[in-house]
A and B are shown apart, each in its own frame.
Chain A
């Protein structure tokens, strides 16, 4: 016991603060960020695309139905956030009060937190990127209809970023194993 007391005096002050925060705090914040910030990115992308699309369609109404796909790409980003938030929610388990601050449950809380951060912010930048490209796609399609498919290729590169976030988030959520309650 004395060796642990000595070690506790030497260990990092970050650790001394972090070990007193419940892992459920981190898990809850992670789940909230994964859905909230993803939806923020999707909304940002949709309004950038949608406003350009509507403005460009004044003189070229033919572009509206084709360019709705840009809006759908942005919406997919929000769906990714919902899916990962539900997956992270299923990873939450209740542990007995004595083992809330065990190393294993602390690690599970940190895993869910980081997973939620990853998915949320990757989807945020993905939604922004797809929105900006979608608006350029609509504007250039209004002037020259052969450009639609070519700019769509760039948009697909952009939407891959949200998928990267989902992949890493799900891989990391597999680390969220809580101590077993006996």
Chain B
């Protein structure tokens, strides 16, 4: 077996990150759609004219699936070791991004489902509650957006990491050690010093 640098298995974590992003977001979207859909169907028996207005929680849950789809496609097209070196750092960053987006979407979907179910049933009996239901649904949707914020911060850190590789190579020309075999922990220390020095 050829000697390996550990970065060969980085795509495993990267692809798993994309999988986590999509699967958990779809779980949240499915829960939100199903739970609020049952509420809409039950409510619609008595008040059929309110059904189209009550589809709002279903649409908001569907949006969570789209968040997961976008992040999963971005992650999986970003794993291309032939075009750009893919270190263990990148793999772990992608895994963390995917888990952040996916699990945030799962929790947001559960919140949207339960609130939507209760909201549409209550809206059928008291029409003034529609605005209140929408407000609570927006707060629940914001939870998924928090996950997207963390994803964008993680991808920003990735740029710091690439810059630190270039700086490290420029400082000490490494003739016999290839870029791929640089210790990831040394890079993490370097980028933390770069991050601290850049905030000064």
| Residues of A in contact with B (beta carbons under 8 Å apart) | 1, 3-5, 7-8, 10-12, 14-16, 18-19, 101-104, 106-107, 110-111, 113-115, 117-118, 121-122, 125-126, 128-129, 132-133, 136-137, 139-140, 143-144, 146-147, 150-151, 153-155, 157-158, 160-161, 164-165, 167-168, 171-172, 175
Contact = CB atoms under 8 A, between A and B. Distances in A.
B44 A150 contact: yes
Nearest to B36: A154
A125 B6 contact: no
Chain B interface residue count: which class?
35 or more
- Determine the main DSSP class of B at the interface with A: helix
B145 interface: no
B132 interface: no
Nearest to B185: A10
Contact of A136 (B7, B41, B69): B41
Interface string B1-23: 11111111111110110110011
Nearest to B21: A168
B72 to A, nearest CB: 5
B69 A164 contact: yes
A25 to B, nearest CB: 12
A10 B183 contact: yes
Given A151-B40, A165-B26, A157 B81 contact: no
B48 A3 contact: no
Which of B33, B66, B69 has most chain A Cβ within 10 Å? B33
B76 interface: yes
Contacts of A133: 33-34, 37-38, 41
Contacts of B61: 157
Given A18-B9, A121-B26, A172-B18, A146 B48 contact: yes
Contacts, number: 201
30 contacts: A7-B6, A10-B183, A11-B5, A11-B6, A14-B13, A15-B7, A15-B9, A18-B12, A19-B9, A101-B1, A102-B2, A107-B8, A107-B81, A114-B19, A117-B19, A118-B19, A125-B26, A125-B31, A126-B26, A133-B33, A133-B38, A140-B45, A144-B45, A144-B48, A150-B48, A154-B37, A154-B55, A158-B30, A167-B69, A175-B80
Interface in B157-186: 176-177, 181, 183-185
B30 A126 contact: yes
B34 A128 contact: yes
A118 B23 contact: yes
B194 interface: no
Contacts of A121: 19, 23, 26-27
A5 B44 contact: no
Given A101-B2, A140-B44, A161 B65 contact: yes
Given A103-B7, A106-B9, A153-B55, 8 more contacts: A4-B5, A7-B6, A8-B4, A11-B7, A144-B44, A150-B48, A154-B33, A154-B41
A118 B90 CA distance: 20
